Amino acid sequence: MRIKRWISSSLRAKLLALFIVLTTIPLMTVGVISYQKSYNSVSSHAKASSMLQADMLGTNIDNLFKDTERLLELSKNPVVIHFLISQSETYEDAKDILRTFALYRDTYKYENVLNISLINIYGKGISERRGIFQTQINPLRNQHFQTLAQNPDSVLRIPPALITSLDQIDGFTYEDRGVISIMAAVKQQITHEVIGFITIDLDDAFIKTFCDQVKIGKTGFFYILDQNGSAIYVPPIDSDDLSIIRKTALPSSGPSGEDGFVLKTHGQPKFIVHTASLATGWTIIGMAPLQEIVAEASSIRQLIIVSVVLSIVFAITLHYLLTKRLTRPIQLLQHKMRLTAGGYLEAKVKPVGTDEIADLGQSFNIMVEKIKELLEQSIRKQQQLQKAELRTLQAQINPHFLYNTLDSIIWMAEAGKSEGVIQIVKALSDLFRISLNKGRDWVMIRTELAHAQSYLVIQQMRYRDILEYRIEVDPELMEYPILNMTLQPLIENALYHGIKNKRGRGLIVISGYAEASAVILTVTDNGIGISEDRLALLRHQIMQPIQSQEEEAQGGGFGLQNVHQRLQLYFGSEYGVRLESTAGSGTTISVRIPKNRRNSP
């Protein structure tokens, strides 16, 4: 809905939407079709290449075993047959057999063959490592020899996991390496009776070499399982891949080894290919992240996406440049009008040209200037009205306070207390001199404290039995400016509403301290305090604008509300009066003003 409203509300948006539909849909269609075709082709090629790698590994293993199994031709050598049949042997017979072993090694260059052993069914044998030996264990107890005795034409290829101590017929073990044994039966030439067995021990390191030479993907690997599914070789891998190997079952039907299959895991999907070694019957399995196998296809996808996006961006940019000169002046004027409607009256249009749109922009600028002038006049009048109202409320204190003070002077004069009369008249003179302040609203804090002290001197003369006061303001604060007549209403409130209603002597303390950016002045009394309900009501009233002089007069002077409104009018909403009180314990009124040394805001 938002897009629809946006398109319908803008001429340029309509043109842009139409242009996008006519250009992007064909481009995206061509891109999707191209990506699908190229992805299928490249991924099929990558999977087939991985399968060829597995087949090559299997062929390498088969060729090595076929080449090594040429040594089984030794079983047809007359010297070997004679050695296995005879009950006694000569040194020359043993030398002939060992020379034959060496001849085969020199001819075929068997680097992986560790040892060649011959043994007859009575335990007499010969090997490259130990020469002639006699085993105390009946060879036919070995399960592999038993199998060969029953199937004389078979050739056994025993992986390391299935080799036992009985398989080491000459008593020699390979503690530092794995061994793959090739075993076959030796038959008598005429009767074809099994007369012994030949064993060829291979170093299984060739499997690791072959697997390392063949790669699948960037981080993929090959591993080999025997006919029973036991691992013959698994490269060093992390625990997650090892867990996948243990749990993966090759499909007996469905996805064939020709193309491989995808295995979904908790992490990245794995692509798996498998093939079988024809010579050994082992299963060769390759595993790699599917993302690596189809990496080239992903690159093509990214290329197609980037091409389509760049084409769309080019088309939109071209449209933008073509429509800019037509719609830009209208959009600019619309933007400025919205800013003005939101209250920002500094928005101005710079007309370009002499057409109707330029004339409209000029008229808009004139209208905004007229609105600003009218608004500024209204604000000035309102401020003057508020200041006049506050000054009128401030002036209300003078008659009432003056009447009471003059009554006190008359009473003291009649009583013959001339010193008291002099003191109170002097304090009254200072009070009015500071209050007038030549019509200025601002005084220094030291002057305001002197004004407050004059007021307290007069009140102390009237309420000598119940009033004491202290002024404890940091001398560093004396030169900061403050509004005239800020503290006197707070002291009056503390006296008349706190201490006057208290039994016993009352105390008013004026204190002050500085914060990082503000000065705090407090008036604290130990009067009767304020209840919670009354305190909440007073806090609410302080925050309300002054409605009329009559309401203030009924409230007992211009009071806390007037002081708070004056402070906020001059300094802002973060400054003003704060009221804290506990019933029966007293009241604290705090005044917060900016910390600066200017004479006026």
pLDDT band of 224, cuts 50, 70, 90: confident
pLDDT tops 50 at residue 147: yes
Q: Where in the chain is the domain with CATH 3.30.450.20?
A: 77-207
pLDDT in tens, 67-96: 888 888 888 888 888 888 887 766 777 888
| CA–CA separation, 601 and 596 (whole Å) | 9
Q: Write down the pLDDT at residue 386.
A: 63
| CA–CA separation, 520 and 594 (whole Å) | 9
| CA–CA separation, 559 and 492 (whole Å) | 8
Q: Which CATH number fits domain 77-207: 3.30.450.20, 3.30.428.10, 3.30.1330.60, 3.40.50.300?
A: 3.30.450.20
* Upper half-sphere CA count for residue 472 (Cβ side, 13 Å): 9
Non-local CB neighbours of 179 within 8 Å, separated by 6+ positions: 114, 160, 163, 201, 202, 203, 204
* 481 exposure class (CB count in 10 Å sphere: 0-12, 13-18, 19+): buried
Q: Write down the pLDDT at residue 34.
A: 77
CATH number corresponding to 396-594: 3.30.565.10
pLDDT in tens, 160-196: 766 655 455 555 667 667 888 899 999 988 888 999 9
Here the tokens at position 14 are 């309509």
pLDDT band of 589, cuts 50, 70, 90: very high
Q: Write down the pLDDT at residue 255.
A: 40
Q: Hey, CA dihedral for 305, 311, 312, 317, is it positive or negative?
A: positive
Q: Where in the chain is the domain with CATH 3.30.565.10?
A: 396-594
pLDDT tops 50 at residue 506: yes
pLDDT tops 80 at residue 435: no
Non-local CB neighbours of 201 within 8 Å, separated by 6+ positions: 113, 114, 115, 116, 117, 174, 179, 180, 181
Whether pTM exceeds 0.75: no
Looking at residue 342, what DSSP letter applies?
T
Looking at residue 546, what DSSP letter applies?
P
